[in-house]
Amino acid sequence: MRTTAKSSSSSPAPRRQPADPVLERVKDPEDLAGLDTAELAGLAEEIRGFLIEKVCAVGGHLGVNLGVVELTIALHRAFRSPHDVLLFDTGHQSYVHKILTGRAAGFDVLRRHGGLSGYPSRSESAHDWIENSHASTALSYADGLAKAFQLRGELADGSGDPARRHVVPVIGDGAMTGGLAWEGLNNLAGAADRPVVIVLNDNGRAYAPTIGGIANHLGGLRRDSQESPDSRESPDSRERPERRARHLFGELGLAYVGPVDGHDIAATEQALREAAALGRPALVHVLTTKGRGFAPAECDEADRMHAVGVVDPLTGVPTKAPKKSWTEVFGEQMGAIGAERDDVVAVSAAMVLPVGLGEFAQRFPDRVFDVGIAEQHAVCSAAGLAAGGLHPVVCVYSTFLNRAFDQVVMDVALHRAGVTFVLDRAGVTGPDGASHHGMWDSAILGVVPGLRLAAPRDPARLAELLREAVAVDDAPTVIRFPKAEAGPDIEAHTRMNGVDILYRAAGRPLDVLIVAAGVTARTCLAAARELDGLGIGATVVDPRWILPVNPHLTHLADRHRLVVTVEDGVRSGGMGTAVAQACADAESTTPVRVMGLPREFLAAGGREEILEGAGMAVRDVVTTVVDGLRAGPRAVAPELIEIPDVPPVVGKVNGSANGSATSKVNGSANGSANSSATSKVNGSAKPADRRAL
């Protein structure tokens, strides 16, 4: 029997717990069926308190999940997961779903190594069908699943047959600004015989308020419902009131139910059941409030505390004063450049503040274009801006540029458009896991004709390289930096043909050239100092522009016995691969060993923890160098050089000598010595000036 419940208050969640917590009795969605009205309201209150306590303690997506508490309870009462398929778009709004499907205990290690994922995860639960953490995907997943179930005779058809299965994508109005969502919607709406229940969670926001025509249309539907609060009828009554008779979704062919108060469990459940009984594609328009029940989130005009680090659960204030991030450094420099050049404009895909454009937007509001969650459009539109005489700076997270690769190639590079891409969260990002590591950009973008890619090692180089990038008006340029503390500047000893020389071991031969990409410079410098203590002469260079390869690097490579490249992108196809190819093309006989991230999906965890696990720590660089020098074939002096034994790093992708050459992952084509190799390396006569660069 359906129950009714009043909307919960939007005041701060009480900190006390009832004597008999309802949440402790809900271990599975089936446990929701027996709860009465008061218990459902109590459960919603408890879940909000739980989210505030746990997410504030470890960090994560808070505001968005506070807004879907009642909606998620209603979904699990109206449908039978995992028999019925619930798909959350974007997946960061799945915390309540995780709680209701028996994973509450995992929130103490949310988004940590080996802990609970911040997104749906198929390895965690049968209730998670997909692992989507990039927006606008759920409708396409739903279309494919519905087609599969229909062909197998399993898709629900409105008959009420419990053996049949419903497909229920839950998508936010922010995600509806993405083009992929409309491609999916077009196919769903055009299949009258393939019922799918689309839940549109409308809170008026992505991070900031949702923009564009769809936002205006949904706003009109909200206003209509407020003007006629008692006009909600059966979805078969399409004429009420007249001003809503021609809404967009009906024109596409979808049955439309709503708007419904998404904080009223009974009303939402009823709307979902009505839509499921229609036997045709339907959209349930649910109104929610992002950050509901937590005053600091509700009062946060920026993004309703969409995602937080560790914060005080009463005030929402970070427990530790944050150190200046790369994003903040970029924001300051972007503001300065905006004042220097009135032709520089900024483009964001629904993330003006997260990518550091707050200052620029405040100072130059007419020169910031937020296009919604639509990276393809952002890049193609930027090409148009460049054609119109401006210099656009497209600011996105590194992992999200993957979606617009075709536009980078065909609309920017082919047209020789002066567009600068700023890729925040490049390399290993940490707690958001596999989908958010920005580890593919160098490998993907390295094949784009004319494109130049820079990786600053410190704030001063970011300022310098950003100005160099926006000065290029006939080709795409890219700046990449991580989600991390920016740290102090690292000054170079000298700059040679655009390459910064960061370290040269005094009085040592030119044993190894270590090429550091961006922020890996600190690791490489620490490794060089350890190598110096082992009697090995290292040179550390920062090419600044890592792609295409600076020809001076091949000159430096030819003067050393070994080259080791270090980057926080995938090893296959990145800077190191390009350096090795450049050396081969220059007929250099110096072996090149490439260190980088493995070609696999990396789990969540701390940034340094992940890098160490991937074989990118100081010790790994030292081991790779020592192993490479053992393998030869070149030496620097006629005398014998002692190469110390360094214990292998077992299981590391970038590790060195640990058995035969076939065990190498990051070795060069020269192979490596086995564990019984002598620690002596015969030198061959070389000119004395090899000690000088």
- More confident site: 605 or 167: 167
Asked whether the beta carbons of 297 and 316 are under 8 A apart, the reply is yes
Judge whether residue 247 has pLDDT over 90.
Answer: no
Residues annotated as catalytic (active site), given as ranges: 290, 375, 403
Structure tokens at 638: 């006629």
Q: Higher model confidence: residue 410 or residue 634?
A: 410
Q: What is the mean pLDDT of the chain?
A: 83
- Distances from the Cα of 482 to the Cαs of 346, 416, 438, 457, 462, in angstroms? 20, 27, 8, 10, 12
Count CA atoms closer than 13 A to 618's CA, side-chain side.
10
Q: In the prediction, which pLDDT does 219 show?
A: 81
pLDDT reading at 146 higher than 70: yes
In three-state secondary structure terms, 384 is helix
Q: Is 459 helix (H, G, I), strand (E, B) or coil?
A: helix
Coil, helix or strand at residue 332:
helix
CB-CB contact of 203 with 219 (8 Å): no
pLDDT in the model for residue 114:
81
Please name the helix (run of DSSP H) or strand (run of DSSP E) that holds residue 145, with its range, or none.
Answer: helix 138-151
pLDDT at 423 over 80: yes
Q: What is the pTM of this model?
A: 0.80
Spatial distance between the Cα atoms of 591 and 568, rounded to a whole number of angstroms: 21
Q: CB atoms < 10 A from the CB of 201, how many?
A: 26
Averaged pLDDT for residues 403-413: 95
Residue 393 above 60 pLDDT?
yes
H-run or E-run covering 192: none
Task: List the structure tokens of 541.
Answer: 């260079």
Residue 643: pLDDT above 60? no
At 568, the pLDDT band (50, 70, 90 cuts) reads very high
**Tens digit of each residue's pLDDT (9 = 90 or more) over 488-525:** 999 999 999 999 999 999 989 999 999 999 999 999 99
Query: Would you place residue 424 in the very low, low, confident or very high pLDDT band (cuts 50, 70, 90)?
Result: very high
Contact 108, 83 (CB under 8 A): no
Output 180 or 315, whichever has higher pLDDT. Answer: 180
Rounded mean pLDDT, 123-130: 89
Q: Residue 494 in contact with residue 552, Cβ under 8 Å?
A: no
Helix, strand, coil: what percent of the chain each, to 5? 40, 15, 45
Q: What is the pLDDT of residue 392?
A: 97
Q: What is the pLDDT of residue 531?
A: 96
Mean pLDDT of 301-318: 75
Would the pLDDT of 587 be above 80? yes
Query: What mean pLDDT is predicted for residues 647-656?
Result: 42
Q: How confident is the model at residue 323 (pLDDT cuts 50, 70, 90)?
A: confident
348 or 115, which is more confident: 348
pLDDT at 585: 95
Name the pLDDT band for 633 (thresholds 50, 70, 90): low
Dihedrals φ, ψ of 493, to 5°?
Answer: -70, -40
Residues in a beta bridge with 395: 348, 422
Q: How confident is the model at residue 59 (pLDDT cuts 50, 70, 90)?
A: confident
Which string of b and e fits 516-538 if b means at least 16 CB within 10 Å?
A: bbbbbbbbbbbbbebbbeeebbb
Q: How confident is the model at residue 552 (pLDDT cuts 50, 70, 90)?
A: very high
**Predicted local confidence at residue 19, as pLDDT:** 53
Least confident of 351-365, 393-407, 430-444, 468-482: 430-444
What does the pLDDT read at residue 547? 96
What pLDDT does 665 receive?
35
267 or 666: which leads in pLDDT: 267
Inform me whether the pLDDT recorded for 688 exceeds 70. no
| Phi, then psi, of 108 in degrees rounded to 5 | -70, -25
- Structure token digits, residue 548: 């295409």
Q: Please say if the pLDDT value at position 672 is more than 50.
A: no
The model's confidence at residue 365, banded by pLDDT at 50, 70 and 90, is: very high
Eight-state DSSP code of residue 519: G
